[in-house]
Amino acid sequence: MIRVLLVDDEEDALNLMEILFRRIGDVEVVGRYTNPIRALDALDTTPVDAVFLDNQMPGLTGMEMTRIIRAKLPRLPIVFTTAYAEYAVEAFEVRSVDYLLKPITIDRLRDAVSRIREAAALPTAADDSRLPSIRCMGGFSIALPPGGDRQIEWKINKEKEVCAFLIHHGGNPVDTETSWNRSGRAMT
């Protein structure tokens, strides 16, 4: 069961989404909000697997809300549901899973749910022995599968440092403004 949070300033749009999700099945709407600020507050206490949100809302746009969500929950799948095609490129820049244009059809919504399922099924180090083994204590190294007997060889030390830096951030986005402080924590 996929738990979704719906955010749209139009009550009719929320009603339609809920009806379509019931028809799809295996999707539970755990919250629906016309106020994006209240929806953000709900994310602190309500476990969700994805957020479906409109872009044009009073008080906070969907893009602004997505940037706030990304700061808290960088891997949470977000699907835009909007009447405006011109924001699609920006939506993918903030790593949305899909971009649905209104009026939303059940087929397009099924596709978005499939994308969320695919994103959730990505392998993690705990469940996939085909992933490399990373050692950070007693020196930094990466062993390649199978067996972990082959180590990555670094051409220059900077490659190794950048790789360690990215791993330190655990998959969170970083940019050229991010740096280390003396305690080894990243700062911007």
The CATH number that applies at residue 85 is: 3.40.50.2300
Tokens at residue 17, please?
Answer: 């989404």
**How many domains is the chain partitioned into structurally?**
2
Residues 6 and 51 in one domain: yes
pLDDT at position 124 is: 46
**Which domain covers residue 90, as residue numbers?**
2-120
Residues 22 and 102 in one domain: yes
pLDDT at position 176 is: 66
Q: If 0-12 CB within 10 Å is exposed, 13-18 middle and 19+ buried, where does residue 133 land?
A: middle
Residues 84 and 137 in one domain: no
pLDDT at position 119 is: 80
In the sheet with 78-82, reading across from the earlier edge strand, the strands are: 27-33, 2-7, 50-53, 78-82, 98-101
Local structure of residue 116 (DSSP, 8 states):
H
Residues 35 and 115 in one domain: yes
Local structure of residue 12 (DSSP, 8 states):
H
Residues 47 and 116 in one domain: yes
Tokens at residue 115, please?
Answer: 């994308």
Q: Which of 79, 94, 120 is the last residue of a domain?
A: 120
Q: Looking at the domain assignment, is residue 159 inside a domain?
A: yes
Per-residue pLDDT tens digits of the chain, which is 188 residues long: 999 999 999 999 999 999 999 999 999 999 999 999 999 999 999 999 999 999 999 889 999 999 999 998 988 999 999 999 998 999 989 999 999 999 999 999 999 999 999 887 755 444 455 667 777 777 788 877 666 667 788 878 888 888 777 777 776 777 767 665 544 555 54
Q: Note the pTM of the prediction, 2 decimals.
A: 0.65
Q: Looking at the domain assignment, is residue 127 inside a domain?
A: no
Nearest to 140 by CA among 184, 178, 187: 184
Residues 14 and 75 in one domain: yes
pLDDT at position 152 is: 81
pLDDT at position 160 is: 80
CA distance 7 to 13: 9
Q: At what angle do helices 11-24 and 106-120 cross, to 10 degrees?
A: 70
